Every structure is written in C-alpha cells, then in structure tokens.
Amino acid sequence: MRVDHHPGGIVTWHFAMDGPELTALFTTRHGGCSSGPYAGLNLAFHVGDDPVAVAANRDALCRVLGVDRLTVADQQHGRRVAVVDALLAGAGHGSASDARERLGGVDALVTDRPGVAIGVLVADCAPVVLYDPARRAVGVVHAGRAGACLDVVGAAVAAMSERFGSRPADLLAGVGPCIGAGSYEIAADALAEVRDVFGDGLLRPTAGGRACFDLPGAVRERLLTAGVVGAHVEEMAVDTAAAGDELFSDRAARPCGRSMLVAVLRR
C-alpha cells in the first residue's frame, strides 16, 4: 500500500494496481473542511454533515484526481450494478438527491470510460475495486454484511463479464479498509442470515447468542467464487473500527463521515 500526501492535508492510500493506466485509491479522513464528528475529509452528503463542506471536500478530491466530478450512487446494501456511460458519468456528485434520482439503490459501478471517477462510500463496509487490464474496464463495489450475503461482488464481476467481456481470471481485485473480524459482533437475526449463506466458517461465537463475523473473509470468498484468482486479490487489511485517527467507523463513533474508494481509468 502506497501512501500519498496532497495539498490541503489530504492523504490517500493506493492499491498495488494503481499506476499510469489506473488510479485506485482509498481516502483517509485527513484533510478536508468538515468538523465535529465528521471532522476531516467526509465525502458523504447523507450522514448529517454540512452539505457545503461535503461539496468542498468532493471538489478537493477531484483536484487530487484531476477530474471534474465523481460518480457516486445511492447505496442501499443491495446487489444492483450500474454501468456508467457518458450519461451517468458524474451522477451523484453534487447531492444525495441526484444520486437517488440517477443511481438509486445501486451498490456497484462499472465502466470502461477513461477519465470517469467512480467511487463507493464506506465507514466499516468493505470497498472493493475490480480492474481488467486486458479489456480496460474497472468496477467499484460497496459490500457490507448484507451485500456480502447477497453477493454484490459476484454481481459486479458478472456485469463486467457481460458488458465488457472481462474474464474473471484476468481481474485484479483490491479490498480496502473495513471492519475487522474481531470488531464486528452481530446479533441473532444477522447471525442467522450469515450462517444461511456462509455457514459457520466466518463466525466466532461470543456471548448471548452473538458472534463476530469476518466481513473481509466473506468478501474474499465471494471474489474467489466469482472466479478471481487468489493471487490477484490485494487486501489493505486495516480495521476501520480500530483506526479512528485515520478512518471513519460507524461502529466506533456515530454519527461519522464516510471515506471513498475511487477508481479512474487513465487511458
């Protein structure tokens, strides 16, 4: 993981696939102009922060990326995937209402258009980037517990295969910071849902009928099941719940801001 420092105090963490042909990074909370519980680079309109500050933070990130706008969906913990074309490029940048109107209920974005910045917002859920260097396509995925159970990761891989001809074995995948296996305790209803899908292998019983759920392990399992090669999966392996100075965590402090995994094809 490469760490870059930018004007205004913005700090970004970059995946190994990041290079001249692709920007693939995760934003920390450093920099930006949000305050209070959202202090730093909060990039989400829907969490209660001052929308003027959020807009300024998004514009600052755009300057770092060298783009005019971000493309951000109205994430709802589902498995819908949107193909970002010329008409959808930049959707959701200016407001939560624009995201709802143009990318409502979407938790994964895929594109083959150079210069289009696609991003997913997270504060414990797992952000995933998928890159096809052979067919020049990229995708980003928001995968929390519900999304992992619904297999939004597999849906994104399938969408890239169907739309761009991507072969899963060619894909490079990156899993950004998310809540760690030891920090994510879930109650009986969520536990039953996870057990129905994944069995007991990703669960560690705690007390009172609860258990800790290995979300990054679930995301990795979904990637492998979708045909991504294990050696092609990079995990930043940072527990958001234990990294409050660097990252936002909804489990650690509520309300809080949101970080973004963002990807841009360069050519």
The domain segmentation of the chain, as residue ranges, is 2-265
Q: What is the pLDDT of residue 236?
A: 98
Q: Is the pLDDT of residue 66 over 90?
A: yes
In the predicted model, what is the mean pLDDT of residues 104-126?
Answer: 98
**Mean pLDDT for the chain overall:** 97
Q: In what order do the strands lie in the sheet with 2-5?
A: 2-5, 11-14, 22-27, 259-265, 117-122, 70-72
How do residues 252-264 score in pLDDT, each as one tens digit? Answer: 999 999 999 999 9
- Residue range 116-129: mean pLDDT, rounded: 98
- 9 vs 260: CA distance, rounded Å: 16
Portion of the chain with pLDDT greater than 70, in percent: 100
- pLDDT for the residue numbered 5: 97
**C-alpha–C-alpha distance, residues 151 and 46, integer Å:** 24
Q: Is residue 267's pLDDT more than 90?
A: no
What is the share, in percent, of the chain residues with pLDDT greater than 90? Answer: 97
- How much is the average pLDDT of 180-192? 94
Look at residue 222 and tell me whether its pLDDT is greater than 90: yes
The listed CATH number (1.20.140.10, 3.60.140.10, 3.30.43.10, 3.40.50.1400) that belongs to domain 2-265: 3.60.140.10
Q: Token pair for residue 6?
A: 């930018």
d(CA 109, CA 115): 14
Q: What is the pLDDT of residue 217?
A: 98
Q: What is the pLDDT of residues 35-48, one digit of tens each?
A: 999 999 999 999 99
Residue 141: per-residue pLDDT = 99
What per-residue confidence (pLDDT) applies to 214?
98
Residue range 73-100: average pLDDT?
98
Tell me which of 267 and 249 has the higher pLDDT. Answer: 249
Do residues 263 and 140 touch, judged by C-beta distance below 8 A? yes
Q: How far apart are CA 43 and CA 34, in angstroms?
A: 9
Asked if 133 contacts 112 with a C-beta cutoff of 8 angstroms, the reply is no
The pLDDT of residue 27: 98
Is residue 57 within 8 Å of 42, Cβ to Cβ? yes
Q: What is the dihedral of CA 22, 43, 150, 116, to 10 degrees?
A: -30
Strand partners, 122: 259
